[in-house]
Amino acid sequence: MSTTPGPAVSLEGWSQETLLVHGGTLRSGFGEVSEAMFVTQSYVYETAEQAEERFKSEAGFIYSRYANPTVAMFEERMRLLEGAEAARATATGMAAVTASLLCFLRAGDHLVAARALFGSCRYVVEDLCPRFGIASTLIDGRDVTAWAKAIRPNTKALFFETPANPTLDLVDIKAVCEIARGTGARVVVDNVFATPLLQKPLKLGADIVVYSATKHIDGQGRCLGGIVLGSASYVKEHLHNFLKHTGPSLSPFNAWVLLKGLETLPVRVRAQCASAAEIADHLADQPGVERVLYCGRADHPQVELAKRQMTGFGQVVTFEIAGGKAAAFRFLNALRLIKISNNLGDAKSIITHPATTTHQRLKPEARAELGIREGSLRLSVGLEATADLAADIDRGLAASRIG
């Protein structure tokens, strides 16, 4: 059975939607329509000489910790979508974040990061990197001048999320990349909230983009995954060997699930963005809601930047209700449709209380600095009818005011 592609098909001129259905597909000799799932640990060689050559050149599959045909299809489809030179998949989103940095940073290097980060990302920057002699500085990523001031002669990486989790703070990608140019520092962007459809960091000058594929790319709460995208030289000289030898490999099954998720990504994201905008407006009109954050609303403090660097505003709405933690918990416990969980990007609407979940490891003063308050809630809008979601929110708000 051959596992090499048939006659080359030109991808020139294909839109994102088409690439997400057909891009990167490898067909075996059986001519299957759906991508094949190659559940194998290793591969057979016809001769000892072929095995020797394969290990020398790595031009072919050797061991599924290094590469796998199903995983390779996912990597190629994401590469085409992102417009990157190369991509490598990982077992989780946090494996992608960690590998994207540690594969090239060394003891004595310095890392600058926006302080508005997912809790585990803050751990990597604040706790893990310094253990290996990599100094780190956290700044207000919204302030372009702060990036310039924080750069040192040994600064090798600038890292940020935009929009950030859960505050939806934005970083001016183009401006930060211009600051980094000529310093020797790589710009690494966690683009998970925007998705590869709504924001293109590489086109704005970033060097490396990372995703938790667990979120929108899967989009149905089924599996974990991550991916790192960048230049061919970065992947070849740094990332590939790091992943090969440390082993955060994406399973073929998960890669297959993620390939299926990519096929419907544009349809889901468009619908979720539209619904999220309506939900944000609905929340803003309700008594007891003290603050609503949505990147596309006119009252978002960085809405003009959002319009410049994003083509859509995502499906996450962060809001704050009066009454602090007790009121927030009453709200959550009264919900019947929206699920309490710490994931996002799912077809199901999901809500979490960041102060006690995703950002609970931060000290109270650090949460206060970020604007994560006791009444703050992060809502990931799914594919349910918007009217049903609004009714559930109203039920929660009514409960939050009792007590």
Give the model's pLDDT for residue 1: 29
Q: Are residues 134 and 200 in the same domain?
A: yes
Q: Are residues 311 and 197 in the same domain?
A: no
Crossing angle of helices 252-284 and 386-400, in 10° steps, is 60
290 pLDDT above the threshold of 90: yes
Confidence tier at 9 by pLDDT (50, 70, 90): low
Give the model's pLDDT for residue 64: 93
Q: Are residues 280 and 174 in the same domain?
A: no
CA distances from 155 to 88, 147, 150, 194, 313 (A): 25, 11, 9, 26, 31
Give the model's pLDDT for residue 362: 86
Q: Are residues 210 and 89 in the same domain?
A: yes
Residue 5 lies in a domain: no
Give the model's pLDDT for residue 199: 98
Q: What is the pLDDT of residues 136-187, one digit of tens each?
A: 999 999 999 999 999 999 999 999 999 999 999 999 999 999 999 989 999 9
Confidence tier at 6 by pLDDT (50, 70, 90): very low
Number of Cβ within a 10 Å radius of residue 151:
17
- What are the b/e assignments for 333-349, b being 16+ CB within 10 Å? ebbebbbeeebbbbbbb
For residue 343, the enclosing domain spans 266-400
What CATH number corresponds to the domain at position 77? 3.40.640.10
Q: Are residues 99 and 216 in the same domain?
A: yes
What CATH number corresponds to the domain at position 366? 3.90.1150.10
Q: What is the pLDDT of residues 58-91, one digit of tens each?
A: 888 999 999 999 999 999 999 999 999 999 999 9
390 pLDDT above the threshold of 60: yes
Provide CB contacts within 8 A for 298, sequence distance 6+: none
Q: Are residues 132 and 149 in the same domain?
A: yes
Which one of 234, 261, 288 terminates a domain?
A: 261
Q: How many domains does the chain have?
A: 2
Which one of 240, 261, 282 terminates a domain?
A: 261
Which one of 226, 261, 296 terminates a domain?
A: 261
The pTM score is 0.94
